[in-house]
Structure formats: C-alpha cells, structure tokens
Amino acid sequence: MDTPEELQYTKEHEWLAIEGDIATVGITDFAQQELGDVVYVELPDEGQTFEERESFGSVESVKAVSEIFMPLSGTVTEVNEVLADSPEEVNNSPYGDGWMIRIKIADPSRIDLLLSPDEYVTYVEEESE
C-alpha cells in the first residue's frame, strides 16, 4: 500500500494534498485496490459547496459502487475532467492523474483533524484485522 508522506488522509480513505487554502482530493491506493477496476467516476460541478463528511460523488468499479466523502468543508474549484473518459486513472495513478477534485477549504483549522500517513496506515491495519 502506497502512502505518500506529504499527504493527509481520512478514515473514509480519501487523501488530500494541501497548498494554502486549496486541497486536491482523491481516493487512496488502499481504496482503489479494494474497489478493483474502476469503470466510472461521478464528480460534482465546479462551484458546488459541501460540508465535511458529505458525499460529493461516487466511484463505480467491477465490484461495487462507493461514495466519496468530502474530507473538509469547502467549495469545488476544479474537477478532474480526465476521469470522465479515463476512470482507470484512479487505479493507475491514485495520487497523480487519478485525483478527483480541488476545493477551497472553508475552515483551515480542521486540517489538524486529518490523519498523518502513519496514522492512516495504522488505521487500515487495525480495520483489516
């Protein structure tokens, strides 16, 4: 399981790359492995606002459809349009070309509640027992 050190994580298996008040969001390597081959990704429109832990889209794989949850409250500033035609990028490059949305973070103080890479790995290991 790949868990880049520069990212933050959630217990819902999303990752965030935070630059100032903008966060790039996607699903983790662990999540895409569990889902299997991704065949469709449903994402919101730019400008939509979501509350923390609210569903903002879904990922459909050969195994299941899973909701994707907003890691922090915010407004969508950009959507990865590549995923409309190439949803497999979520599997091929979950931390690169498979990113999903960028958001303007509503409350930066909530960043401190996200999981560090080590905390996320521990969480996944405990859940898998």
Q: Mapped to the 3 state alphabet, what secondary structure does 41-110 carry?
A: EECCCCCCEECCCCEEEEEEECCCEEEEECCCCEEEEEECCHHHHCCCHHHHCCCCCCCCEEEEECCHHH
The reported pLDDT for the residue numbered 120 is 98
- In 3D, which of 107, 90, 120, 101 has the Cα closest to residue 23? 101
* Residue 2 CB burial class (10 angstroms; 0-12, 13-18, ≥19): exposed
Q: Is the pLDDT of residue 1 over 90?
A: no
At 117, the pLDDT band (50, 70, 90 cuts) reads: very high
**What sign results for the dihedral spanned by CA atoms 17, 52, 118, 67?**
negative
At 95, the pLDDT band (50, 70, 90 cuts) reads: very high
At 128, the pLDDT band (50, 70, 90 cuts) reads: confident
End-to-end CA, the chain: 16
Mean pLDDT, range 52-66, rounded to an integer: 95
Quote the pTM value. 0.95
Contact 67, 55 (CB under 8 A): yes
